Structure 1
Amino acid sequence: MGAADVVPGVSGGTIAFITGIYDKLLESIRRVNPSLIGIIKKDGLKAAFNHVNGTFLILLLSGILTSIFTLARFITWMLHNNPIPLWSFFFGLIIVSVNHMFKQVKQWKINRFVSVLAGAFFAYGITVLHPLNLEPTTFNILVAGSIAICAMILPGISGSFILLLLGMYSPILAAAKSVDIITLGTFATGCVIGLLTFSHLLSWVLRNYRDIALTFLTGLMLGTLTKIWPWKETLTWRINSSGEQVPLLERNLSPLTFEQVTGQPALLAYAIAAMIMGIALVWGLEKLADK
């Protein structure tokens, strides 16, 4: 989940769904509420810890943080130097994940198909929005954290991409690489606020309208595929808050057209290999889950 959340366009929530921990994650987060105080008073800290699946949450959060701190540099390097294989890997990951999620829908009706289309159009609409240019103030970092974390637990919507739209991706990634405790602490506080409020709503929807929710979430994943298509031409650029020139508007190209327009190799063999790796990873996780 941590590795996915570092990449704009890929959601950690997608990874949670693939690995089969999504419902448990939402339920554990939902249990972190004021009722915990009563449990602590009545049965003690250990009972409260068990009530929220404390061991599960600590292990998961430790894995996410470890991945972010160890992979932030590598992912940044890949995005700058080898973007085509990286995007291809995640493209394959999401394509096969869509099939995995469709298998979990118990009953297909017209409203399920409508839900898939609604999710796809909603996600696509987000991907074509123009990025803002918010300054990395304490308040903006707090707000960015609370919004981005909601996307991070939604399969299909990338928290990193939301940070890009807000103009906060580079400052947060730089803080992770330099271990800026103040910035990261502010961002984490915003994440906690957003997570505790949004998880209740999402958990309720999944309990009461599971098939509709699953098909909408799968539509979200399908809608972001245009964002992570490996071969792109940058139409316009912008200067981010760190003074770096980054793409603003891009259009998708076929591998052949990409070579003709950009003069760069399409790396088709590498892309196919990376895509197969992504598919194989999800297939392997499914087989592991079956056991």
Structure 2
Amino acid sequence: MLEFIGGLLMSLGGSVPGVSGGTIAFLMGFFDEMLNSVNTFLSKKSTQKKKSFFFLLRLVGGYLLGLALATFLIKRFFAEHIYPVSSLFLGVTLFSVPLIVKEEFGTLKGKFKEALWILPGVAAIVGLTLLSESGIFNASSQWAQIVLAFPAGIFVSCALIMPGVSGAAFLYIFGLYEKFYNSLSSLAHLDFSVVPFLLSMGLGAVIGILVVVKGVRFLLNKHRCPTIYAILGMMLGSMHSIWIGPSKLDTPQPILDFSSFSIWFFLLGGLFIALFELSKILVRKKRQK
């Protein structure tokens, strides 16, 4: 059940500019298991395929439900209440950092020089955000959008795996944010003209996941300490993306400032993290019994 809820939250969070589905997986404590399950499921020789399949089935089921909600209901709600939502996710991100440090304390302890990896993590996400503002890609024709959908899918899939990396930001970089959600809505209304676009993006996403999972899993297994620090940096960098997220809406709004910032929703984000942590503890105790 936790994986289904996790997939749901990954999808809903990923629809908000600046928010990463990978961050949510990391916060809920199944990030490593997600990577290992994908790797195990794709391995030719593994006795754990059945277990990995059902784990991924629950995760994907929640993600698809979240995608449907984001397309038809939540996306409009987020747009109409973007400042409280942005404040909420700022709280979620900031309050999650000490919990991740606590979870990985044994890995990070005494390795202060490795903390420098926080800086490239922050720089990567801030640079990505600035790139999304540049409008470097501007596909106006239908065929150009179909062609761009493939590399966009590869990069968007990174947001499913990499904490701090926003899928919405990549969609903005490729100029396909509105096109993507409109295409999902059109398909639900049996408009099959959008199928080539969605297939192109879906194929790119599958290839991206295969590559990214292998890469991130290797880094966590062989270079866990600098990788965790870099992930923390990406999470901190994503706060900048969330802060300017309102300017990325279909109808751009002013970026979050002190007058539009909601301290109550910010603290509510912290409460969510505390509840996540409590649920993880209860699940662990239940499994131990």
The change in CA–CA distance for 1:110 and 1:49 in structure 2 (over 3 A counts) is closer
Q: Once the 2 structures are TM-superposed, how far is the Cα of residue 287 of structure 1 from its aligned partner?
A: 1.0
1:137 aligns with 2:145: yes
8 A contact 1:96–1:282 mirrored in 2? yes
Hey, which of these two has a bigger chunk of helix by percent?
A: 2
**1:1-291 superposed matches below 5 A:** 1-33=10-42, 35-36=43-44, 49-50=49-50, 53-103=52-102, 104-106=104-106, 107-129=109-131, 130-135=134-139, 137-179=145-187, 180-229=194-243, 246=252, 253-255=257-259, 266=260, 271-291=262-282
Q: Once the 2 structures are TM-superposed, how far is the Cα of residue 32 of structure 1 from its aligned partner?
A: 4.2
Q: Once the 2 structures are TM-superposed, how far is the Cα of residue 192 of structure 1 from its aligned partner?
A: 0.6
**RMSD after superposition:** 2.5
CA deviation map 1:49-93 (0-9, x unaligned) = 427x00011110110011011122333313432210111111111
The change in CA–CA distance for 1:94 and 1:105 in structure 2 (over 3 A counts) is same
One-letter amino acid of the structure 1 residue matched with residue 18 of structure 2: G
Q: Once the 2 structures are TM-superposed, how far is the Cα of residue 94 of structure 1 from its aligned partner?
A: 0.6
Q: Give the match's secondary structure for 1:31.
A: helix
Which structure 2 residue ranges, 5 or more long, are not aligned? Answer: 1-9, 188-193, 283-289
CA deviation map 1:184-218 (0-9, x unaligned) = 33322211111011110110100111121111101
8 A contact 1:226–1:252 mirrored in 2? no
The change in CA–CA distance for 1:4 and 1:121 in structure 2 (over 3 A counts) is same
8 A contact 1:20–1:289 mirrored in 2? yes
One-letter amino acid of the structure 2 residue matched with residue 74 of structure 1: L
Kindly tell me the number of residue pairs found equivalent between the two proteins. 258
CA deviation map 1:94-124 (0-9, x unaligned) = 1111122121132242323201122112211
The change in CA–CA distance for 1:251 and 1:160 in structure 2 (over 3 A counts) is closer
One-letter amino acid of the structure 1 residue matched with residue 265 of structure 2: A
Q: Give the match's secondary structure for 1:170.
A: helix
Alignment partners' CA distance in 1, 2:186 and 2:98: 39
8 A contact 1:102–1:215 mirrored in 2? no
Q: Give the match's secondary structure for 2:239.
A: coil
CA deviation map 1:168-188 (0-9, x unaligned) = 111111122233544333322
8 A contact 1:13–1:152 mirrored in 2? yes
8 A contact 1:205–1:213 mirrored in 2? yes
The change in CA–CA distance for 1:245 and 1:70 in structure 2 (over 3 A counts) is closer
The change in CA–CA distance for 1:202 and 1:254 in structure 2 (over 3 A counts) is same
Q: Once the 2 structures are TM-superposed, how far is the Cα of residue 245 of structure 1 from its aligned partner?
A: 5.9
8 A contact 1:13–1:156 mirrored in 2? yes
Hey, which of these two has a bigger chunk of strand by percent?
A: 1
